[in-house]
């Protein structure tokens, strides 16, 4: 698939596939098999985490083996990692934080950058730099939600000041099978990270992924 020119293109893909697979390539062959399962399920993008020595090579092989998919690099912490990921063929960059230097490095390589955010300040800094797709984690802040009006979630609290902006979020760490549909239906959410899929492979992954996607709700139901 042609490299995306902006985060907006990633949002379009993510809204169609609903989940963002985050893959840790401890066994590259297994990771590539998992990617095949996600592609079979209709996914157009996956994220390979730079947490093992095999990550960059897995990105290289995945780009060749799955030309119809967008292959991103995740857990990118430094500009040097951005450069290495770009050379391996990564088509977008994901970082756990709104690190300005990492974002600038991604821009230098003309790669869409998805920063991790937690607070309204994080969101504001990322938006100011044009990063409209952000990974929100944790998506549920129980202590904070106790201070909000009854029934209000942290997503609702962020929607108040940012609902009129281009902001779209990937909800992570706090999403469960029980609340998957409600998070996915929120107007700020482009997709979620389904953590319960991480340790599944082969037929087990195919089965639970199919069940998970069946939990999703129609786009018309967004708040």
Domain borders along the chain are 7-215
Active site residue 135: yes
CA dihedral 130, 6, 79, 27 (to 10 degrees): 130
pLDDT number for residue 143: 64
pLDDT number for residue 221: 42
- Name the token pair of 97: 């934080």
Catalytic residue among 135, 140, 206, 207: 135
Architecture of domain 7-215: Alpha-Beta Barrel (3.20)
pLDDT number for residue 217: 53
Active site residue 83: no
Q: Judging by beta carbons within 10 Å of its beta carbon (0-12, 13-18, 19+), is residue 31 exposed, middle or buried?
A: buried
CA dihedral 46, 49, 52, 54 (to 10 degrees): 30
- Ranges of residues in the chain with a pLDDT under 70 are 143-152, 217-223
pLDDT number for residue 219: 45
pLDDT number for residue 204: 93
pLDDT number for residue 215: 83
Catalytic residue among 2, 47, 150, 220: 47
DSSP state string for 60-75: HHHHHH-TTSEEEEES
Residue 137 DSSP symbol: S
């Amino acid at each position: 698939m042609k490299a995306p020119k902006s985060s907006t293109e990633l949002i379009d893909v993510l809204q169609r596939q609903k989940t963002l697979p985050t893959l840790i390539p401890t066994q590259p062959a297994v990771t590539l098999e998992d990617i095949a399962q996600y592609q079979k399920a209709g996914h157009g993008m996956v994220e390979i985490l730079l947490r093992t020595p095999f990550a960059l090579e897995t990105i290289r092989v995945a780009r060749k083996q799955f030309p119809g998919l967008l292959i991103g690099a995740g857990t990118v912490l430094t500009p040097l990692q951005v450069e290495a990921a770009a050379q391996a063929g990564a088509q977008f960059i994901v970082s756990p934080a709104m690190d300005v230097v990492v974002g600038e490095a991604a821009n230098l390589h003309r790669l869409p950058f998805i920063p991790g955010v937690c607070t309204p300040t994080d969101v504001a800094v990322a938006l100011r730099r044009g990063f409209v797709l952000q990974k929100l984690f944790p998506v549920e802040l129980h202590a904070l939600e106790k201070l909000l009006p009854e029934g209000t979630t942290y997503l609702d609290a962020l929607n108040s000041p940012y609902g009129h902006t281009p902001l779209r979020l990937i909800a992570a760490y706090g999403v469960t099978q029980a609340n998957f549909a409600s998070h996915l239906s929120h107007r700020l959410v482009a997709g979620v990270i389904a953590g319960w899929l991480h340790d599944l492979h082969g037929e087990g992954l195919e089965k639970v992924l199919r069940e998970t996607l069946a939990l999703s709700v129609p786009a018309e139901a967004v708040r």
